[in-house]
Homo-oligomer: A and B are copies of this chain.
Amino acid sequence: MPRNRQDQTKQAKRDEILAAASSLFLTEGYDGASMGKIAAAAGLTPNTLYWYFRDKDELFVAVADLYLARLLQQHATVAEKPLARQLVWLVDSLRPVRHLVATVHARVARSSRIEQWHSGFHRQMETLFEDQLTIEVPEARRAAETAVVTFAIEGAVTHDLDADATTSLCHSLARRLAAG
């Protein structure tokens, strides 16, 4: 049953598709979440998705953007806590979207759309960590230090560490940033 015959705004229908895509990308991954499944979950035919999104990667990026915005917004609630706690929070927040993280890395070479999103994401993370660097860390090392933190966080998210290993890793990273 098609719905959008003016009883829904375009944005509302778009959000419905986004919700369907979001849930399927998380549970089934990029390959598992076919355009057919996503369309069905939104009560549409596959080809109709192309009215709202240029291609699958654009749909994927829209979903990723949604989570990134939510993440940065929620970060405010922990921004004042010690760095180690923030990192644990970050890992816990990203763990549910680990399929998205893996997909970004797998497709970054094939889709310029995803490539763009990816570098934006890393810029966000770097500024987030740079702000917390102790002043003593020499300029030349900053990039390397923040890179280590970002990569380690990504690793912790995509490789399932248990809770103990995660906190241990986060404290180790925080110690490093504080010590320089």
A residues near B (Cβ < 8 Å) are: 29-32, 99, 102-103, 105-106, 108-110, 122, 140-141, 143-145, 147-148, 150-152, 154-156, 158-159, 161, 165, 168-169, 171-173, 176
Within 8 Å CB of A171, what residues of B? 144
Determine the distance from Cα of A173 to Cα of B172 in the docked complex, in whole angstroms. 12
Given known pairs A32-B110, A106-B103, A110-B31, the reply for A161 and B147 (CB within 8 Å) is: yes
Nearest Cβ on chain B to A62's Cβ, whole angstroms: 20
Whether B141 contacts A150 by the Cβ 8 Å rule is no
Instruction: Kindly state the separation between the CA atoms of A143 and B99 in the bound complex, as whole angstroms.
Output: 24
Report chain B residues within 8 Å CB of A110. Answer: 29, 31-32
